[in-house]
């Protein structure tokens, strides 16, 4: 099994949601701003519950916000 | 510093613990090297260190809370805490097992007590370092 990474479109979706700030999104989904920063920077993969809450904040389906990429080991 | 209240709290705990309890161990090592082998002789020093540690922790957290609004722990903070504890708890286990071995070998109690305290300190310091690494580098 290779390495896996969860990528996301949060930065773009924030921009499309009227320049929503990281703080505003954090307050809406109930985490700290630093956690949103870490998720955007792919330094933290959120729990399924938090991923659903973020998707709901943008009124988008989960797979439009988060994408799972699996890389095969060489 | 672009850090959450939890991360700042970890920094405060790390610096306080290394500074205060580190100083305790420096003085205690000096006393042990001079042949002080009675546990009671270390109690006042330890008491002062604990009181000082509490004062520094309260002062540090108060300053940070005034400078930035305290936030509750979220799922990332909890996960980082659990992972850091999982990676550092073995240090305390090794210290306890070594202390038990020392008791079987009839090593003086003063050494056993300090071995246990040192392993507790090192375990906590390792936990804080792991937490800070996870906060900075991600998981």
Is A74 a domain residue? no
Kindly state the DSSP code that residue A9 receives in the 8-state scheme: -
B124/B65 Cα distance (integer angstroms): 23
Angle between helices A33-40 and A22-29 (to 10 degrees): 110
Is A10 a domain residue? yes
Answer whether B76 sits within 8 Å of A30, measured CB to CB.
no
Question: What integer pLDDT is reported at residue A71 of this predicted model?
Answer: 66
Answer whether B76 sits within 8 Å of A38, measured CB to CB.
yes
pLDDT tens, B100-134?
999 999 999 999 999 999 999 999 999 999 999 99
Q: How far is CA B129 from CA A73, B15, B125, B135, in A?
A: 30, 11, 6, 10
Phi, then psi, of A8 in degrees rounded to 5: -145, 165
CATH of the domain at A36: 1.10.260.40
Is A35 a domain residue? yes
Which residues form the domain of A17? 5-69
Is A60 a domain residue? yes
B67 contacts: CB under 8 Å, gap ≥ 6: none
Which of chain A's residues have a Cβ under 8 Å away from the Cβ of B71?
Answer: 32
Which of chain A's residues have a Cβ under 8 Å away from the Cβ of B135?
Answer: 34
> Into how many domains does chain A fold?
1
pLDDT tens, A2-52?
455 889 999 999 999 999 999 999 999 999 999 999 999 989 999 999 999
């Amino acid at each position: 099994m290779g390495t896996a990474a969860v990528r996301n479109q949060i930065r773009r979706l924030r921009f499309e949601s009227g320049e929503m700030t990281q703080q505003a999104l954090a307050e809406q989904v109930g985490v700290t701003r630093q956690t949103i920063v870490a998720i955007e920077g792919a330094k933290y993969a959120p729990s399924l519950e938090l991923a659903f809450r973020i998707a709901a904040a943008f009124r988008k389906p989960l797979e439009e916000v988060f994408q799972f990429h699996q890389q095969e080991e060489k | 510093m672009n850090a959450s209240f939890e991360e700042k709290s970890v920094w405060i705990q790390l610096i306080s613990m290394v500074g205060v309890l580190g100083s305790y161990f420096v003085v205690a090592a000096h006393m042990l090297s001079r042949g002080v082998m009675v546990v009671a002789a270390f109690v006042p020093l330890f008491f002062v260190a604990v009181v000082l540690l509490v004062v520094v922790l309260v002062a540090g957290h108060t300053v940070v809370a005034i400078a930035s609004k305290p936030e509750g722990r979220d799922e990332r903070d909890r996960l980082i805490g659990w992972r850091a504890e999982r990676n550092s708890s073995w240090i305390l286990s090794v210290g306890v097992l070594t202390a038990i071995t020392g008791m079987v070998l009839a090593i003086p109690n003063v050494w056993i007590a300090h071995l246990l305290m040192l392993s507790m300190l090192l375990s906590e310091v390792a936990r804080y370092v792991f937490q800070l690494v996870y906060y900075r580098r991600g998981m």
